[in-house]
Amino acid sequence: MRIKSILLSAAIALACGISQAVTLRVADVGDVMSMDPHSYNETTQLSFTANVYDPLVGRGKDMAVIPMLATQWAQTSPTVWRFDLRKGVKFHDGTPFTADDVVFSFKRAADPGSDMKGYVGPIKEVRKVNDFAVEIETTAPFPILPDTLTAFAIMSKKWCEVNKAERPVDKRKGIENTASFKANGTGPFRLKERDPGTRTVLVRNFGYWDKVDSNVDEVVFTPIGSDATRVAALLSGEIDLMEPVPLQDVERVKASGAHTVLQGPELRTIFLGMDQKRDELLFSSVKGKNPFKDVRVRRAFYQAIDIETIKTRVMRGAATPTALMVGPGVRGFMPDMNKRPPYDPDGAKKLLADAGYPNGFEVGMNCPNDRYVNDAAICQAVAANLARIGVKVNLTAETKNSYFPKILRRDTSFYLLGWTPSTTDAHDALFNLMATPTDKGQGQFNLGSYSNARFDELTQKIQTETDQAKRNEMIREAFKIHQDDFGHIPLHQQALAWGFNKKVSLVQLPNNYMAFKWVVVK
Amino acid sequence: MLAFILRRLAQAAIVMLAVAFIAFMLFQYVGDPVTNLLGQDATPQQRAQLRSDLGLDAPFPLQFAHFVGNAVQGEFGLSLRQGRKVSSLIVERLPATLELSTCAALIALGLGIPMGVFAALRRGTFFSQAMMTLSLLGVSLPTFLIGILLILVFAVTLKWLPSFGRGEVVALGSWTTGVLTLDGLKHLILPSVTLALFQLALIMRLVRSEMLEVLRSDYIRFARARGLPNRLVYFGHALKNTLVPVLTITGLQLGSLIAFAIITEQVFQWPGMGLLFIQAVTFADIPVMAAYLCLISLIFVVINLVVDLLYFAVDPRLRIERAAGAH
């Protein structure tokens, strides 16, 4: 009898010992498309693979640039940077990490099949200095190189060669690749199991070079596309953490008692753009001229929009109204300039009358309905606001698959777009969204072709200015010009919404990266 | 017989071609995968290059001819979203869908037929009235709503059953199954009930009305006159004759079960072909959509063919007419 009970308690202790392994069950609306960190430039993808692959330079809990595989770096000439590499780091398969891996990873990320070309684009060459130092040469002076390197994952040269994965999967040529379903990084977690569309399992890499503040041994990642099911799975306790919580369910999740929702501002800024180039708008009742060429009309539109009501009604409080085209957390954000001209429908009506449209006019508006949080509802609210000043908006809200090709052809007069600077630097927004379009890629998302010569000049200078104080002054001037011109109508930064069990504590980054190394499960 | 089969196969080929053609026409409107593929940092030149590399800028007839040429060889290309072969994606997802549909069909038949018989025999009683009312709900409530209600009750409130996924699966070669583990079976219950409910209500109502019809016919009256016990009259004579139209409908509905599993799979995040299709639509992943639609039309065509052949086996009159015609 005694022996039996001892055996029993031993068995229980053993069972408990096994069950003490901490598993974090995570659900997201979409799946991670590939395990290859160079194959897709998409947040879910990059966020997940960042747990397996380390970059040279990373981001801390406050988004500040921190050393990862590089211990320190310095600019040795305007176009050359030297990075000292961390010693004693091993890939998950045991291969030591050296400068050869950095040189190799750069070549891989710059391959035609790679989606990370935008990040490594400014780089001309990566040279090995010795086993633990590299030199990176840029084509032009590039002051924010460390920021752009945060999304550039380092892969093992040897592993890629052995597995014939020297190049990213090329969607065009139809070549499948080991790296899309296996992984070998230096990160705090290693890939254990990959079943695309169903579940992906990571386990802790206990040989990680850095101290990790997490007690999570295993992460099970499951995509759950249906919003209602994802919420149900969280409430029923089948998952511990999920993203995003649909806005209408935030209160319900919080009311459950065992769960909470963390809503921090995302880096993405939602804004409206107006065609300021054509002499006659494609979709408008005004013929023979373009009302948007008149700054008074643009200002009238801006001031007719009741941003507070959009925030409280459409976004249920989950938005931060903005007067700038970049949000807090982006380098170059100017808090003191983040003041919107007041909501003023009567003033807007007067401005329209002054511009020669006392009875308003009709204009077509394009809007996605499955890209940003409540995107189509925002457009409807804007249309209702504009109706008050006599502008009749003919709204076309459609799926992103047909919306983006259309607006990229510039077949639009008035549109809604969201933008996260991938470098988390203001220059990215100035260059892509606001500068005059050229055939070199500048202004390629400036779909209404807002144009100001001084603004363009500043944009070019900001790109190469290495003195931070001077650079900030120029960013400030550029923002001022754009605000005075009412070049676009910034609306808000939407909020992230992560729902999780209260026994989980975590860090939410405004770029929506989910770092499991900062997750603790009580 | 052989001529009949060959004729049906030729018709099937035409149907498939028509489906592929219509599907391809629709793809012109689902949008452009290129912006999804390249992300915001790509240049217009890169977009144009990718569009031409993928053959999306070719004229419609050329794209279609290219697709049919490859499809005939069973080659559907590479998924744009996942960068993997469409054929292997479908093979991976097929077992989940078939398991779900089969399970739903078993539930629909196993419960629908007895319930229909009961409702016919005990016409007017409280239970049969209640069943008829509930079946009306089953026919009229949309699948996604039923699914979400079941999740709310059994997963969130009672916490008896899981709300999503397939649970633990066992791989038997390239076939994965969830019916061999307790966890897998638990995961199967809610989705298959959801999917079965409409068919169950349909079969029950069909059996009931057929049964009532048959019970009024002469041979049942004669059977009673012969003094046969009720059990034998109902189950030996009446039910047998009721089942012919039921089996026809069931055969055809099996195809719908597979095709309409899309919604159930979406609600329960069931990793089958339907979910693959939904994901493909939101990404404008044309190769996956095309392959799925062709496969579903193939399944329908095959089921119809089998049902037609079963008629020969089940209904002796057809065979006699054929034989007579041959002379």
Query: What tokens does A114 get?
Result: 């790679």
Contact A405 B151 (CB under 8 A): no
Q: Which residues in chain A touch residue B186, judged by CB atoms under 8 angstroms apart? A: none
Q: Looking at the complex, does the CB of residue A232 fall below 8 Å from at least one CB of chain B?
A: yes
pLDDT-based confidence at residue A215 (cuts at 50, 70, 90):
very high
**pLDDT, tens only, A60-99:** 998 889 999 999 999 999 899 999 999 999 999 999 999 9
Per-residue model confidence (pLDDT) at position B314: 65
Per-residue model confidence (pLDDT) at position B325: 47
Which residues between 175 and 194 in chain A have a beta carbon less than 8 angstroms from any beta carbon of chain B?
A: 176-177, 180
- What residue of B is the nearest CA neighbor of A118? B41
Q: How many CA atoms lie within 13 A of A200 on its CB side?
A: 27
pLDDT-based confidence at residue A176 (cuts at 50, 70, 90):
low
pLDDT-based confidence at residue A197 (cuts at 50, 70, 90):
confident
**pLDDT, tens only, A24-40:** 999 998 888 889 998 87
* Residues A127-150, mean pLDDT to the nearest whole number: 91
Residue to test with chain B: of A236, A409, A447, most B Cβ within 10 A:
A236
pLDDT-based confidence at residue B217 (cuts at 50, 70, 90):
confident
Residue A199 backbone dihedrals phi, psi, to 5 degrees: -155, 150
* Residues A344-348, mean pLDDT to the nearest whole number: 95
Instruction: Work out the widest C-alpha separation in chain B, in whole angstroms.
Output: 87
Instruction: Look at A270 and B169; give whichever has higher pLDDT.
Output: A270
Instruction: Look at A439 and A492; give whichever has higher pLDDT.
Output: A492
Q: How far is B272 from chain A (nearest CA, A)?
A: 10
Q: Which residues in chain B touch residue A197, judged by CB atoms under 8 angstroms apart? A: 82, 93, 271, 275-276, 279
Q: How far is B99 from chain A (nearest CA, A)?
A: 16
Amino acid at B255: G
Q: What ipTM does the predicted assembly reach?
A: 0.80
The pTM of this model reads 0.83
Contact A236 B155 (CB under 8 A): yes
Question: What is the full DSSP assignment across A447-470?
Answer: TT----HHHHHHHHHHHH---HHH
Q: Which residue in B83, B155, B162 is closest to A39 by CB distance?
A: B83
Contact A30, A225 (CB under 8 A): yes
Per-residue model confidence (pLDDT) at position B12: 82
pLDDT-based confidence at residue B316 (cuts at 50, 70, 90):
low
Given a cut of 80, whether residue A372 has pLDDT beyond it is: yes
CA B64/CA B55 separation, integer angstroms: 11
Q: Which residues in chain A touch residue B43, judged by CB atoms under 8 angstroms apart? A: 441, 444
CA A311/CA A457 separation, integer angstroms: 35
Which residues between 259 and 278 in chain A have a beta carbon less than 8 angstroms from any beta carbon of chain B?
A: none
Q: How far is B52 from chain A (nearest CA, A)?
A: 10
Contacts of A101 (CB under 8 A, 6+ apart): A154, A155, A156, A157
pLDDT-based confidence at residue A1 (cuts at 50, 70, 90):
very low
Q: Which residues in chain A touch residue B75, judged by CB atoms under 8 angstroms apart? A: none
Per-residue model confidence (pLDDT) at position A265: 86
Q: Looking at the complex, does the CB of residue A197 fall below 8 Å from at least one CB of chain B?
A: yes
Contact B163 A401 (CB under 8 A): no
Q: Which residue in B43, B85, B268 is closest to A441 by CB distance?
A: B43
Contact A235 B156 (CB under 8 A): yes
Per-residue model confidence (pLDDT) at position A521: 94
Which residues between 87 and 126 in chain A have a beta carbon less than 8 angstroms from any beta carbon of chain B?
A: 115, 117-119
Contact B41 A42 (CB under 8 A): no
Amino acid at B27: F
- Tokens 């008149």: give the residue: A294
Instruction: Look at A502 and B6; give whichever has higher pLDDT.
Output: A502
Contact B164 A229 (CB under 8 A): yes
Given a cut of 50, whether residue A13 has pLDDT beyond it is: no
Contact A186, A51 (CB under 8 A): no
Per-residue model confidence (pLDDT) at position B322: 55
Average pLDDT of the residues of chain A: 90
Please name which of B21, B22, B44 lies closest in space to residue B34, comparing C-alpha atoms.
B44
Alpha carbon B203 to chain centroid, angstroms: 15
Per-residue model confidence (pLDDT) at position A171: 60
Q: Looking at the complex, does the CB of residue A198 fall below 8 Å from at least one CB of chain B?
A: yes
Please name which of A305, A311, A493, A292 lies closest in space to residue A383, comparing C-alpha atoms.
A305
**pLDDT, tens only, B218-246:** 888 888 888 888 888 888 788 877 877 78
